Structure 1
């Protein structure tokens, strides 16, 4: 296959992944304000799309981690090929769509890293991966960030309720947090753009370096930043309603004060990690903050069964995507025929997943009409006593 053609194919596939990242992770910013009624669903995802677009231009540190850290580039090291990157992207996209179909808020970031690592190991060898970078900038943040942001959200929620506590029967003023959520959720969307859009920038930059088009160690070019920003923004606008349903319907009993505390904690953590070049999972951060805010509000409990299912998805994402990337790499090594096989198989799987999704379609129109099976945070309610007179009426 012509070298230029394979590079173009990889860039196109990277933008497809960026699109899936957008609709997969919309819930991180907008599930809570949609659930509390702070914003209408279409307005929320539209605002998130614009802010994802803007955020993508604010930093490139994470892109450099992907392009020059996890997979060794060359200059005496291992030279990764566009075919291997192509296979890794297929693994990431397929896993993203599987978790989207299941409504699981899994990590698009870890799907990407897993796909690339699995493909690189099969295509080149174990020495192609810089495991120190993987541990320091991927695995450790994945373990530390949800716990840290959970504690911050817990404290922020307690503080919000303490400041607005009822006094002498006067109104507590907590309704104002519904308007504050517009700001806090916007900040999460902006921070998501600064972190997640860069991962695709890093992949495209890595492809250009592997193809000899760009020098080793350089960052993403302007056109790469622009197309990646547009791809994630368009993906965000499509909604990702299944995952919004899982997180949002689980948050229907979360009050605006809780939502504001969770969102500000999420945004602060993601922005700090983007500045440090940590390729953080925004999904894990958002989920950790939701659980922390649930624990921080008196009368609220966390449904650990659902939280456990989400955590299991986090654990499985990296190895599952790696296996799929490795499988695709096995075909890619066959040459042009293998690339065509990968395209056909990948397209078939994607078509089957979308066809399956149509059987239980979720959109902004029926988002709140589906049973509340995905509740993460629920409020413990005291049963209302029924008078003897009311019992007689019911019996009649």
Structure 2
């Protein structure tokens, strides 16, 4: 059964996609739930649907992950690299989920690909990683903090004379739209990354040629990440929604709008696979800083940044070890 190794890699990709969904569900809805704009289950259902639709707009991101990170050799070695990368990413997702740390599933996947490729002696496209991953990884949190601060400052100025209770109620309704926009951006970014790995596996397995992403790959990636999103990620949701700063509805709206805008520009214009986690977390920090700098729990933020720094090497090491173990039996 020549298709079996490819089928196993696709199953692992969907396993990663599912963990990505429940790991990153908090990205889209934590602020809406913490401000009581939406109930948890309604928020999760809305995020799942928006994820589903967003996935079909992320072809550029899929191309970057499938072709711009590594050159995997055709055959069993290439499939082993894909499998080991996915095991590394899944392992890192589960570890950070257990500790409630909103690390990046995207960077776990890319770190896994790099670690597995190095273990196999395959080519890692360092220039592509620098241009499409490292630069956006550094810039997106900086832009998130600054833009979040500016958007919240503009909201405070525009509604400076309004009655606070009325403003709060209005922004609770507005958060439905901003949370949906954030979830759409998550689908655009994260489901597409999984689709890119599936296309890579199909290519090295001899089942795909050309530059397109098959529609069925996008479809199953979208469905699985939506199911994972609906399963929820309550541990991380508490970290984003309450432990960094206690948000009110205007702040939640500002953070979600900021993060969604960055995701759209990066994915649609540049095909850059940026982290939805980094983006929403930094936006929350920027929004919170408009109160006063001490309003942000910088100790919690520091723990999150530590998880960000460790994601690439952590997932890469797990992927490299996984490659060596699998290679013993293949």
Shorter-chain TM range is over 0.9
| Aligned residue in 1 for 2:214 | 221
Aligned equivalents of 1:303, 1:16: Cα separation in 2 = 33
From 94, 97, 101, the equivalent of 1:97 is 94
| TM-score normalized by the length of structure 1 | 0.80
Aligned equivalents of 1:148, 1:171: Cα separation in 2 = 30
State the structure with bigger RCO (CA 8 A, min sep 6), 1 or 2: 2
Once structures 1 and 2 are overlaid, which stretch shifts more, 246-255 or 275-284? 246-255
**Runs of 5+ consecutive residues of structure 1 not aligned to the other structure:** 337-396
| Aligned residue in 2 for 1:152 | 147
1:113–1:207 Cα change, 3 Å: same
Once structures 1 and 2 are overlaid, which stretch shifts more, 218-227 or 169-178? 169-178
CA-CA distance at 1:212 after TM superposition: 1.4
| Aligned residue in 2 for 1:371 | none
Secondary structure of 1:212's aligned partner: coil
Matched, 1:166 2:161: yes
Matched, 1:258 2:251: yes
| Aligned residue in 2 for 1:177 | 171
Residue by residue over 1:303-327, the C-alpha shift from the partner in whole angstroms, topping out at 9 and shown as x without a partner, is 1111000000000001000000000
| TM-score normalized by the length of structure 2 | 0.95
| Aligned residue in 2 for 1:206 | 200
| Aligned residue in 1 for 2:296 | 302
Residue by residue over 1:75-110, the C-alpha shift from the partner in whole angstroms, topping out at 9 and shown as x without a partner, is 9xx996111111111111011000000000000001
Matched-pair contact (CA < 8 Å) for 1:35–1:251: no
| Aligned residue in 2 for 1:394 | none
Matched-pair contact (CA < 8 Å) for 1:73–1:79: no
| Aligned residue in 1 for 2:316 | 322
Moved over 6 A (4+): 169-172
Aligned equivalents of 1:145, 1:79: Cα separation in 2 = 36
| Aligned residue in 2 for 1:9 | 8
Secondary structure of 1:296's aligned partner: coil
* RMSD of aligned alpha carbons: 1.9
User: When you count helix as a share of all residues, which structure comes out higher?
Assistant: 2
Matched-pair contact (CA < 8 Å) for 2:17–2:221: yes
CA-CA distance at 1:177 after TM superposition: 0.8
CA-CA distance at 1:253 after TM superposition: 2.6
The equivalences for 1:340-355 within 5 A come to none
Residue by residue over 1:364-386, the C-alpha shift from the partner in whole angstroms, topping out at 9 and shown as x without a partner, is xxxxxxxxxxxxxxxxxxxxxxx
Matched, 1:238 2:237: no
Aligned equivalents of 2:9, 2:59: Cα separation in 1 = 20
1:33–1:170 Cα change, 3 Å: closer
Matched-pair contact (CA < 8 Å) for 1:95–1:111: yes
| Aligned residue in 1 for 2:59 | 60
CA-CA distance at 1:300 after TM superposition: 6.3
Matched-pair contact (CA < 8 Å) for 1:165–1:172: no
The equivalences for 1:132-143 within 5 A come to 132-143=127-138
